[in-house]
Structure 1
């Protein structure tokens, strides 16, 4: 096996190679939506692993910020991955993201080669939306008139630039509770930049109640056929009222009607969120892990 960097150009066979890499990614898209997104945008270094029969066994994305995304099909490729990184050390290693067993394996490679030790590691369950299961779950749900009355007073909306100031507090709360390793590492300027960029991209959604935004969600990544839903958060004062279920059901159904498969990942330790997503028609299909340095 050999590992190559996918370089843009007009050389003979380039289009064929790029299509071959894309075909591999699309066959595995449900577990690597973000990697497909970076491949489409051409904003990261793309590596692909090829055997002597011209069959692809894995693809990795390495960004300038040190984010490494991977989609590997066999542990037999790990030797070539190690050989590559031994020769071409990333300028920075910020995170490793993807299927659990390969995230762990790549982390061991970096520790072996460079003595790199991670700051945090979180395990997740990958879940996929099924419209039929969502309908069955909704029909089986016991009526709750109090929740129904409350949700009838809520509005789900696509965030616009004019919503930025109102959305910022709940975005900050989300990052402090779900994203940052510790509160001291929270960077409000980065939070503001990311939120404004995502709103301008049309990938942020909110729930408004009594002229106040009380919940949010976003598209974490969009590939060719899949959307990865994420950033789902409800203000602590409005939890246990069915808001997250209402928001996830609505968005998942919308994306499915747009001919997109919908996936998400949820912390294995977050049983409440797992129950919400299960009640929204999601089923687990894989193990996912993110390691930060």
Structure 2
């Protein structure tokens, strides 16, 4: 490691000193960077740290994960030097998606402009929301864990969610081509007991998952209701039940919602969630 205080990028797992310093740094952003924080706790092999090293210490400027396609990031402060360092690192990389806390993503997006990736083709802004105390839903429904027997139903709901809420415009019609890949993902997540669902006559029509957990927070994601069952309070009932389970663990529930999705924003607010930050996702062709 350089001893001059210049910026460097390295795998977090490369040096024990970097891991401990990274953990101390990212603990400050645990609520807004749950997924990144969890990957640090798991010592994910795709996790990088941006740092300055001195004779007796290191100063962490940020962390990001990059699996060859998707970047998830959190930085302390923006600077021309940091942008230049990131541009050099990603000079030959092909990025398809960039996500994280709003200001951190803006910094990384500026850095990517100076690479072959250029400017993002689609940008979405989300509200990061938190609930510390569960709200009792008026509508009582049975919420249960998804099991192996639910694989096909959960997969179809999951694919519909990806098409409607996740995929950029130019990929929406190709989601069906990902069925084999997504089936493996769904199967793994079912075995990890992260999917919760509501059903009627053995037909799953409302789904969510809780697959990101940190010491103080659990992230709710993938909330999706079959269009035929919307505006009937099911999504709120599901989220309220999940929040109740999370708070029983003495943790807070967090999630992010597209700022343009007024119906979803209303559901989460009525379920006791309060906005605390902005989240941003950039898509690249």
Distance across 2 between alignment mates of 1:99 and 1:264: 12
Q: Give TM-score, length-normalised by structure 2.
A: 0.87
Cα deviation 1:231-279 (Å, max 9, x = unaligned): 0011111111111111101101101211222210000001111111111
**Contact 2:92/2:116 (<8 A) preserved:** no
Give the aligned partner of residue 284 of structure 1.
275
Q: Which has the higher helix share?
A: 1
**Contact 1:3/1:81 (<8 A) preserved:** no
- Deviating more after overlay: 82-91 vs 113-122: 82-91
- Deviating more after overlay: 195-204 vs 260-269: 195-204
Give the aligned partner of residue 122 of structure 2.
120
1:268 and 2:259 correspond:
yes
Cα deviation 1:73-130 (Å, max 9, x = unaligned): 2113x52242243155353212111122221221122122325232321110100112
Give the aligned partner of residue 98 of structure 2.
96
Cα deviation 1:11-38 (Å, max 9, x = unaligned): xxx4343122111111211111111122
Give the aligned partner of residue 144 of structure 1.
none
CA shift in 2, pair 1:87/1:55, >3 Å: closer
1:74 and 2:61 correspond:
no
Unmatched runs of 5 consecutive residues or more in structure 1: 142-147
Distance across 1 between alignment mates of 2:123 and 2:174: 16
1:21-36 counterparts in 2 under 5 A? 21-36=22-37
- Deviating more after overlay: 275-284 vs 107-116: 107-116
CA shift in 2, pair 1:122/1:194, >3 Å: same
Query: How far apart are 1:69 and its partner, in Å?
Result: 1.2
Distance across 2 between alignment mates of 1:254 and 1:194: 24
Q: Give TM-score, length-normalised by structure 1.
A: 0.84
Give the aligned partner of residue 38 of structure 2.
37
1:8 and 2:13 correspond:
yes
Distance across 1 between alignment mates of 2:59 and 2:71: 22
